[in-house]
Amino acid sequence: MKSNNDQDLLQTIVHFLHSINIEVVEQKLPNDTFLPGLSIYGSSILMDSEKLKYPGDLLHEAGHIAVAEEKIRPLIGTAKIGEEWPTDGEEIATILWSYAASCFLKLDLEIVFHKNGYKNESEWLIEQFNNENYIGLSLLEWMNLCDGAEFPQMKKWIR
């Protein structure tokens, strides 16, 4: 990440995450993280801005923290979390949470749903969201994060 636009975008996202009590900690990370330059540990995102390729990935990782049950959050990034995390439902909720955060921040959806992510389904996801087909909305409602009638506005950002 080198450009001023990327730095401004990164600052916007980090400021938002701090405002909802998701800490972003800048530190050197190994090359084998799941997403380049990012890792999650508990309720914090560890970020190596030198290795970060897509600033929007921060919102997706934050979504994992946001939709996780409170009792699970301290285990994220440790061996205790287990291989079942995140569940398919949590992944779907995370994607929709990322969409809501993108809307709140007035970001182009391609920043979060970039062509090199989401198992090559980014365009399809953007198309669904643009057509107000909010896959997983019932999960965010069940988590008491939003009211479906007002989505993408959120009642709260953390489960």
Residue 115 is encoded by which pair of tokens?
């062509």
Mean pLDDT of the chain: 94
Query: What pLDDT is recorded for position 3?
Result: 66
Mean pLDDT of 20-41: 94
pLDDT of amino acid 82: 84
Of the two residues 104 and 119, the one the predictor is more confident about is: 104
Summarize the confidence of residues 57-62 as an average pLDDT: 96
How far is C-alpha 19 from the chain's CA centre?
15
Average pLDDT over residues 32-50: 94
Query: What does each C-alpha distance from 37 to 15, 43, 56, 114, 145 come to in angstroms?
Result: 18, 17, 12, 16, 28
- Spatial distance between the Cα atoms of 142 and 159, rounded to a whole number of angstroms: 10
pLDDT tens-digit series, residues 122-153? 999 999 999 999 999 999 999 999 999 999 99
User: What separation, in Å, do the N-terminal and C-terminal C-alpha atoms of the chain show?
Assistant: 31
> Is the pLDDT at 68 greater than 90, yes or no?
yes
The per-residue pLDDT for 2 is 52
Averaged over 102-117, what is the pLDDT?
95
* Phi, psi of 38, rounded to the nearest 5 degrees: -135, 145
